[in-house]
Structure 1
């Protein structure tokens, strides 16, 4: 069910909103000021309200999970496709890769999210930045459909995405044209995003799972970023995916391409959600890789974290806390930016 219920933070007498500091420094038990700890609060910059069957735990469970995990704010979006349950399937699939049945573009996901969130109290709504995702990125009508949805819920939407392009088996299972980041339909969407001041979260794998020696699909995404300089782009997973990692391991040339893209395009930002953590940000021993630490320090306002949970919210805290070794390797100011403040700036939420 997606019915709204009050989270624990309201039931016990108050809404757990943002605290004054994202990164706090405290003395150790012996009073030594060098024995410090950091208390991270987060903006979850990649979170799906529903799964590939358009079901989820609901807003109450999400708020409980956010309170427990010290998530002050979240990018919240639906899932732009739905998995078909075919007549000849032995049982209902549990995931979009559960069988060979296709997935189809599903506009209802935005209405599911909007109805759940607009019925919530205003302080609850203030903790979320809803993004539009329920459109076919190969349909030249897409920008008009997004404009219509914005008129139905005026002032509600804060961004567009996650837009699925070049996404492993998800791409293979969609009917019709292959979604790609520089498709003509999406170029119209990017122009609309620039007009309305909305950031766009795009999933565009940097390569395929069989061509790990070269950035096979990078030109598609790069041309979209280059040709839309007034659009704020967020590159989901820095062009990686769990499937790419399973098939290719760590892509040795990924760092160089991400660095070059950041140097070249000031309108590009990087989502470090979970498939980037290992094996890129952390090494095999769970220690931060120094070159990624230095890159984030060079561009301290260009990176965000996300759990990328899909309709089930119990793991949000574990996922975000797994970034602690990397955040600890950053300066306090940069760690605060990456953990929480960067995303708030992109969606114009006041910082405390």
Structure 2
């Protein structure tokens, strides 16, 4: 009864969201480094009431191995690996540097190996070579279950020494960092990797971190409900003012899976109204961008108007010091 009353209270203080969206996670290319291009993206954004987007490449590329009879068409379609691909950032530069939409599309650096101690130097060289172009760093892929298993080389983690150097560069240039770091593994029903993220947050207080999908993934949800995630997210937000949550992909499934979960996450968003932003997480193809963002209306509709506007629009822009 108490839970029903709390959800009813959210409903009474809410409205049907009818504002604009900003998308905090669009991968301009897919795992084969192919894209529909800027014109296709802008067309979808205009039709879907999306004003701005954080735009990033894909840090890894799928390999077509000699033992594969056919060209792969899905990153998880076979056992061939993926490898770090730095040219993904050049693709963004080539498409955006002369685009009239630079005021709406905000590029992030992602083409580096997060286990390479030279990564920070590489990023700083990019920043110096194109002053003012880059608006952030990420999505950095760490602890990404199946994708991590396919990635050639050393496995990445949020607190890897190479990334600790990257975070210092981010702070130096006041760039937000989008970080993917699963809260746990497929098997463990406890926050196995939380300590890695905590170390990052504590040792890099001047860096703003956007936690992609709140530490969830589709692979994790196939093996467990992640009921403990809400408590861990609340703890991390309470203890770390430099942490923000990117509400995208599987996090929506976790929030709306039942009345209890919805109530708890709505309370968390309300308690930390400046710390959540939405994203579509599309990769290379953009026709579903608006549809994916509008799915968040199920959450936005239950929030007070000012908080819904922050989550859907304003919080993302504040990360790159744009006010609208």
TM-score range for the pair, normalised by the shorter chain length: over 0.9
Out of 278, 283, 294, the residue aligned to residue 257 of structure 2 is: 283
Q: Does 1:103 align with 2:89?
A: no
Q: CA deviation at 1:342?
A: 0.2
| 1:51 match | 30
Which stretch shows the higher mean deviation, 59-68 or 37-46?
37-46
- Structure 1 residues 102, 37: closer, same or farther in 2, change over 3 A? closer
| 1:183 match | 160
Q: CA deviation at 1:150?
A: 1.0
Out of 25, 29, 39, the residue aligned to residue 60 of structure 1 is: 39
| 1:153 match | 130
Structure 1 vs Structure 2 CA RMSD: 1.5
- Runs of 4+ in structure 1 off by over 6 angstroms are none
Q: Is the 8 A contact 2:14 2:301 kept in 1?
A: no
Q: RCO (CA 8 Å, sep 6+): is it higher in 1 or 2?
A: 2
**Structure 1 residue matching 2:55: 3-state secondary structure:** strand
Q: What are the residue-to-residue correspondences of 1:54-203 with 2, within 5 Å?
A: 54-121=33-100, 124-203=101-180
| 1:233 match | 209
Q: Is the 8 A contact 2:15 2:303 kept in 1?
A: no
Q: Is the 8 A contact 2:14 2:305 kept in 1?
A: no
**Structure 1 residue matching 2:282: 3-state secondary structure:** coil
Q: CA deviation at 1:288?
A: 7.5
| 2:198 match | 222
| 2:242 match | 267
Structure 2 distance, partners of 1:145, 1:37, is 45
Structure 1 distance, partners of 2:130, 2:76, is 33
Q: Is the 8 A contact 1:41 1:71 kept in 2?
A: yes
Q: Is the 8 A contact 1:288 1:329 kept in 2?
A: no
Q: Does 1:322 align with 2:295?
A: yes
Q: Is the 8 A contact 1:288 1:326 kept in 2?
A: no
How many residues of Structure 1 are paired with residues of Structure 2 in the alignment?
A: 312
**Structure 2 residue matching 1:340: 3-state secondary structure:** helix
**Structure 2 residue matching 1:342: 3-state secondary structure:** helix
| 1:333 match | 306
Q: CA deviation at 1:35?
A: 12
Structure 1 distance, partners of 2:43, 2:67, is 39
Cα displacement string for residues 245-267 of structure 1 (whole angstroms, at most 9, x for unaligned residues):
1122x211110000000000000
Cα displacement string for residues 176-226 of structure 1 (whole angstroms, at most 9, x for unaligned residues):
211000000000000000010000000000111111x21111111111111
Structure 2 distance, partners of 1:329, 1:272, is 15
Q: Is the 8 A contact 2:15 2:302 kept in 1?
A: no
Q: CA deviation at 1:38?
A: 3.1
| 2:7 match | none
Instruction: Calculate the TM-score normalised by the size of structure 2.
Output: 0.94
Q: Is the 8 A contact 1:297 1:330 kept in 2?
A: yes
Instruction: Calculate the TM-score normalised by the size of structure 1.
Output: 0.86
Q: Does 1:292 align with 2:271?
A: no
Structure 1 distance, partners of 2:258, 2:236, is 26
Q: Specify every segment of 5 or more residues in structure 2 that has no aligned partner in the other structure, as ranges.
A: 1-12
Q: CA deviation at 1:283?
A: 2.7
Q: Is the 8 A contact 1:288 1:325 kept in 2?
A: no
- Structure 1 residues 37, 215: closer, same or farther in 2, change over 3 A? closer
